Chains A and B, each alone.
Chain A
Amino acid sequence: MPPVRGCKHSSSQGPVTTFEVIGPITSPASDLQGHPHSLGCLLLDARRFAGRKRTSRRPSIPVQLDPVRFRTWPEISRSGVKYWKAKTSEASRRRRDGKENEIRGRHGDRSAPPPLLLSFTPICLFYAGDSSPQRGEKDRLDFANRKGFLDFEGTSDVNLNCLFFPPNVENYGAPEVPEILIAFSPTESEHLAILKASTVEGKRKKKTYVPLSVSPVSSPDAPNGAQLYSVTLRSPLQSGEMTTVETLYVLTHSLEPFPTEISQSEPQLVYYRDSATILSPYTIVEQTVYIKTPSSKVESYTKVEPTARSGSETRYGPYHDRLPYSFSPVIVHFENNNPFAVVEELVREIEISHWGNLQIRDHYRLKHAGARHKGVFSRTMAAWGYFYWVYDTYAKHPCRLDYQFRQSLSASFKTLLAMLPPRVHSVYYRDDIGNISSSHLRINSQKSELEIEPRYPLFGGWKATFTIGYGLPLQDFLFESSDGRRYLNFSFGCPLIETVVDDLTVKVSLLVLFCFGKFYTLNSINVTSYLSIVILPEGSRNPTAAVPFPVNQHLETTYSYLDVVGRTTLVLQKRNVVPEHNYPFQVYYDFNPIFMLAEPLMLVSSVFLFFVAYIAYVHIDLSIRRPLKTNS
């Protein structure tokens, strides 16, 4: 049986699409069960078939963006993302024309992150090992006649989609395949937050995952603006060889609430739009798409035969021998009562004080992006707490009122969980009109959890802003590198995790997330392509940032307590951040410790000058009368 990669849900909260690709050849080596990260990955098994030659290298090399560094993958677990275990399923083996490419694989899905995250769309891509699309050749990569894509216009929503491609890729006949192409529709690529790929080495229990570099490919010849990404294999795939590549990608905005407005007691229904077939520049030999919904309540779904639905799973496929770039739009309309929490804007300020403190301030603008709340609001239905304390100036001992309220049906959320680093101190949680009293902080040696509630429960369309600030011991995050520069090592991304009443841990999906890090450093010249270089005063110079994915950055100057020249501030900016972005990043800068003394010395000298001036004032007689007196 061919290796199959799948992801199992840890919860049934999010819809998952499972794609299955079946190729003609099964390789036991490609069994992906037990992927430790189970980050939904695309596995490509490529096997080379005899007689098939690799045509040539792709002529055009896409502009390389920064290589994504995957070394920190395990970090993700810190952010509370759940991992899903891979599930093995069988892919039937199918043999196609000997000269064709085959892809097989089972698509893994990732379980939806519970509450917040809506859904994943797993998609499975198959690559025919052989051809690069440009080649046109006789194989089925000819997409010239394909009619356009479906418009995925609608998904204005807030969801994350995680897609997994776990196919095995075999190279049938192409001489050497150095890289594999993954295709996204324009809408998808717009909402694509992150795309990772890794390959599997070793077998069974000794398997290890090696990250592969992924880069967008400019593909003027792709139909209807399909965006291609190329995954560079570790070693070119020889004809007849097979390899397994796992990819994980996360799409935001892929669930659209419909109806767009619901009352407090109505369930929230959403549309999920996708294609029944997998968009790929390769011919896919056999594929199946599974869509898992959080519940079995599915209002409707498009039927593209063969289509089957059982429980919370809808299956499209198996389809055979689909041409490259074939697209078959489907809509699944199902109930999803998860609140769609979106941080519309997050500004994180990190202030380094060499006196031993690292001060973090996160400014959030949070929105419930699900179906808008309409009509009457009722506390009796919205109440989560079952008791109230009585504020009574007359009663000496306030008593507790117990009320039993009906639970509200519709999606709203109240509690959020922020995972903070250990040894956090001076935590505050407030907004622009003062402290928000509903928060709890739990600290242990491993981590700190801050459980916060916005001032009011968020129903669809409601917004809230707040700020979380805390201090950290500097020695945990600031290090000195071998060349004498200092560097800050801190986590990128958003510490919020949603906790749901039923104890599920979920990712917060972030629609648009700006991250501004303020590093009070100076800047230096870093010639990496994405750092701008500015020279700044107040002690630190030459700041450079090392971020594992592309971000916009620029430098600013900030004035804080008693600064004279200002502190160099490095601003990193990125859109569409998802928990997968919770990687550590580094900021290197030069700093001379003597500058630590500047402000204390300034204060001391000003006090000194004050007294000197006072002494002078006391001893100098400015009166105009005295000379007269002495004369007389």
Chain B
Amino acid sequence: MVDPSEAKGEGSLRKAFGGVLGFFILLLIGTLAFSIRLFSVIKYESVIHEFDPYFNYRVTQFLTKNGIYDFWNWFDDRTWYPLGRVIGGTVYPGLTLTAGSIWWLLNNLNIPLSVETVCVFTAPIFSANAAWATYLLTKAPAHLFEVKGTGAGLTAAVLLAMVILFLLVFLLISDNQNVPSYISRSVAGSYDNEAVAIFALIFTFYLYIKSSDLKNYTQTLNTGSLFYATLNALSYFYMVCSWGGYTFIINLIPMHVLLCIVTGRYSSRLYIAYAPLVVFGTLLASLVPVVGFNAVMTSEHFASFLVFIIIHVVALVYYIKGILSPKMFKVAMTLIVTIGIAVCGAVLAILIALVASSPTKGWSGRSLSLLDPTYASKYIPIIASVSEHQPPTWPSYFMDINVLAFLVPAGIVACFLPLSDASSFVILYITTSVYFSGVMVRLMLVLAPAACIMSGIALSEAFDVFTRSIKFQLPKLFETPPSDVWQLIGDTNNGTQDELAKVDSKIPTEKSETTVKERPSKKNRKKEKEILEKGKEIKEKGKENVEKVSDKRQNAKKLLVLPLEASAVAILLLIILGAFYVVHCVWAAAEAYSAPSIVLTSHSHDGLHVFDDFREAYAWLKHNTDVDDKVASWWDYGYQTTAMANRTVIVDNNTWNNTHIATVGTAMSSPEKPAWEIFNSLDVKYVLVVFGGFVGYPSDDINKFLWMVRIGGGVFPHIREPDYLRDGQYRIDAQATPTMLNCLMYKLSYYRFVETDGKGFDRVRRTEIGKKHFKLTHFEEVFTTHHWMVRIYKLKPPKNMTRGKSKKKINPKTRTKISYQKNRNKNPWQ
């Protein structure tokens, strides 16, 4: 074409330009990923959201105040009273250590940010990190950088820009999950483990691929990179510190290794990527107190060890194969296989015996509910009662991954076209995460990055094809008579007339599809897939010919050429598609995921109304009760009570002791007197209930009440769920069962409720309550928030509970009268 040296200079300039552009785009992505999560700060305030983040916040406060050593030894006596909880040994410390380090660093730079501020912004910062990690992970299996090498120059840069832009967009929702409660996981203020864990997850995967990657040009081809493998182990360690979901990594990577071995793709790179991860990773993981010996004792980790053994066997086989003659090898093979099978069988038998001897087969409850979705609802009501442990609904898929749902299949196809280790890993990743997200809505977190990666690959392939077509055809457009410069292209065009004709013949169908492209995106997807496949095929052919002479390469390239108009329109449509997706993401981030659940708002014609009752109640508790008072509530509010009100709670969101929770559930389900006795035995001074019937707040304790009954009944059989249901229906109106109407939860929720409107109309259940006028004998109301959403009761001291105690003793008649009255109270409807 042109003077080679000139071309070279131009090429390097283009490369540099592309590099700088890429850098700024990545920077932009980070900024956007960060700032799109600030909706909650702007719309509401810089505050910690939800339940678990409050615990993490409290732990972080402790860490920053008392230092790391006290943190490891922290026994928290303000929760799970009277048991307490060893926080240092039962918490995943990654998040708190991260935020604590950031805080420490900032404070040493004399930037006096409060711990709360740091906690609020940790999640957005790590979302930006996760976006970059996703970019890296996507780059590995995507083919776009091969294209860049061929001189596509500016086009490649544009392409890169587009792809990255889309990556950004995809990652927007990557961890905005937990749809049922409309809370996202990584918006500012959502200070939860997942915020850093998703980054760690993706980064671990990236390092794994990097350490085993074929396209890792910096390494000699036949060895993997021990450096990256070590980094990988460290990253895995960080993941172990951060989130219980690390078992996903430690199962997925062995699966991939196994897949590679089975499909004959074993190589020393694979070995180098995997073996250090298992050895170092397991060692490091067992350093985390909460994991400890679980790293080698529980079934979740067995897969990695098994594959570890297998990969060694395979390595040994390859090694022996290398030093022996084929004949000798066969002999040795039979020998080793027999011995190996025997040994493996023995080991397996021991393992199975060990595992089978434990009641849960060595699996934790949550893991079991992953493998068997019906497990939790059958055996562990506590796990089943959490909304984020429910299977997701279809709408939540569309809400969360939206357009990606259609792009993912295309991405999978693109990954298959040249199947590499990396792309097979990504395929495995998406497959497993789709399964897991189908089991628990919370695990859509894991699916989202996979979907982003797949869609990124699909889009980059599509753009690759389209832009190249345009690039090759544009000159024709501007310079109809072939000039010297474009001679070559003209030649190739001439020489491949028949090919072009073939392509042309496809144009009509292509165009007809283009015209209907405004229609539902399913069609888009179909078409894209088609285009992609075609492009892939063609490109594949082209790749095979890479080593051939240049004109042949040109030939191959020419095969990729699609009609100019079709390409342009397709690009345009893809951009529009992406734009809509951006709109959706921004909308979702702003509307659906940014509400901190402790502050509720409702819009009406004259503006915004704020329901700040939770903090009102917690502030009241904090300032107007004694420091050592114990507050009983359903476990949902445990973390918030300890963090915001600084009062001791009986149970909290760390549901480690089922019996204790069942005790509280039983108390809530019992009539007043037994409930008082239970609470009194627990030293409880105040009881807190959340009641939404006044203003229509649906997730209140009455709606959760059946779970309390179930969990309580699971341990204390005298609580029977059918007693609370009328003909299988849960109701609180006049048709409700007497057990229901007399239980503590009902009474505490509806005490004096009738005085508000005279009828006692519950706006959540949309019915009038069953029992309107009643008195509390063992509890007294001490505080109710402005919108009645939180009501706090105090246990009456024993002497004030019953009137005329002495009388009662003296006069047996009174006693019988009282007991009679009690009976009557118990069943007023019979």
Task: Give the B-binding residues of A (Cβ under 8 A).
Answer: 375-380, 385, 388-395, 397-401, 403, 430-431, 433-438, 455-456, 461-465, 559-564
> Which residues does chain B contribute within 8 Å of A397, judged by CB atoms?
604-605
Listed residue (B601, B603, B624, B786) with the most chain A CB atoms within 10 angstroms of its CB: B786
B612 touches A391 (CB 8 A): no
A392 touches B612 (CB 8 A): no
Q: How far is the CB of B43 from chain A (nearest CB, A)?
A: 12
- Determine whether B623 belongs to the interface, using a CB cutoff of 8 Å to chain A: yes
- Determine whether B222 belongs to the interface, using a CB cutoff of 8 Å to chain A: no
- What are 19 residue pairs bridging A and B, where the CB atoms are less than 8 Å apart in the complex? A379-B788, A380-B756, A390-B696, A392-B695, A393-B696, A395-B696, A398-B604, A403-B756, A431-B619, A433-B47, A435-B47, A436-B612, A456-B783, A456-B785, A456-B786, A561-B110, A561-B112, A563-B110, A564-B110
Q: Which 10 pairs show the lowest CB-CB distances between chains A and B? A: A392-B696, A389-B609, A434-B47, A437-B610, A380-B755, A379-B784, A435-B45, A463-B623, A455-B616, A455-B619
CA distance A395 to B644 in the complex (A): 30
> Which residues does chain A contribute within 8 Å of B763, judged by CB atoms?
390, 392
1/0 contact string of B597-620 vs chain A (CB within 8 Å)? 011111111000111100110111
Interface residues of B toward A: which range?
35 or more
A562 touches B110 (CB 8 A): yes
A390 touches B602 (CB 8 A): yes
User: Per DSSP, are chain A's interface residues mostly helix, strand or loop, or mixed?
Assistant: loop
CA distance A393 to B603 in the complex (A): 10
Task: Give the A-binding residues of B (Cβ under 8 A).
Answer: 44-47, 109-112, 598-605, 609-612, 615-616, 618-620, 623-624, 644, 692, 694-698, 752, 755-757, 763, 780-788
B615 touches A393 (CB 8 A): no
CA distance A296 to B620 in the complex (A): 35
> Which residues does chain A contribute within 8 Å of B781, judged by CB atoms?
376-378
Listed residue (B47, B763, B788) with the most chain A CB atoms within 10 angstroms of its CB: B763
CA distance A52 to B65 in the complex (A): 73
Chain B, Cβ-Cβ closest to A392: B696
B604 touches A401 (CB 8 A): no
Q: How far is the CB of A440 from chain B (nearest CB, A)?
A: 13
Q: How far is the CB of B813 from chain A (nearest CB, A)?
A: 30
B618 touches A433 (CB 8 A): yes
Asked if A560 meets B110 with Cβ closer than 8 Å, knowing A391-B611, A455-B619, A464-B623, the reply is: yes
Selected from A385, A391, A435, A561, the residue in CB contact (under 8 A) with B696 is: A391
> Which residues does chain B contribute within 8 Å of A463, judged by CB atoms?
623-624
CA distance A255 to B359 in the complex (A): 69
CA distance A376 to B784 in the complex (A): 10
Asked if A391 meets B697 with Cβ closer than 8 Å, knowing A397-B604, A403-B757, A434-B45, the reply is: yes
B615 touches A462 (CB 8 A): no
> Which residues does chain B contribute within 8 Å of A398, judged by CB atoms?
602-604, 609, 696
Q: How far is the CB of B598 from chain A (nearest CB, A)?
A: 8
> Which residues does chain A contribute within 8 Å of B603, judged by CB atoms?
398
Selected from A377, A434, A560, the residue in CB contact (under 8 A) with B112 is: A560
Q: How far is the CB of A233 from chain B (nearest CB, A)?
A: 49
> Which residues does chain A contribute within 8 Å of B599, judged by CB atoms?
434, 437
Q: How far is the CB of A351 from chain B (nearest CB, A)?
A: 11
> Which residues does chain B contribute within 8 Å of A464, judged by CB atoms?
619, 623
> Which residues does chain B contribute within 8 Å of A455, judged by CB atoms?
612, 615-616, 619-620
> Which residues does chain A contribute within 8 Å of B785, judged by CB atoms?
456
> Which residues does chain B contribute within 8 Å of A456, judged by CB atoms?
616, 619-620, 783, 785-786
> Which residues does chain A contribute within 8 Å of B624, judged by CB atoms?
461-463
Q: How far is the CB of B51 from chain A (nearest CB, A)?
A: 14
> Which residues does chain B contribute within 8 Å of A564, judged by CB atoms?
110
A401 touches B619 (CB 8 A): no
> Which residues does chain A contribute within 8 Å of B757, judged by CB atoms?
401, 403
Q: How far is the CB of A384 from chain B (nearest CB, A)?
A: 10
CA distance A72 to B471 in the complex (A): 81
Further 13 A-B residue pairs, CB within 8 A, beyond A560-B110, A563-B110: A376-B780, A376-B781, A389-B602, A389-B609, A392-B697, A397-B605, A401-B757, A437-B599, A438-B612, A455-B615, A455-B616, A456-B620, A463-B623
A378 touches B109 (CB 8 A): no
CA distance A399 to B784 in the complex (A): 21
> Which residues does chain B contribute within 8 Å of A434, judged by CB atoms?
45-47, 598-599, 615
Q: How far is the CB of A367 from chain B (nearest CB, A)?
A: 9
> Which residues does chain A contribute within 8 Å of B752, judged by CB atoms?
378-380
> Which residues does chain A contribute within 8 Å of B109, judged by CB atoms?
562
CA distance A385 to B752 in the complex (A): 18
Chain B, Cβ-Cβ closest to A397: B604
Chain A, Cβ-Cβ closest to B754: A380
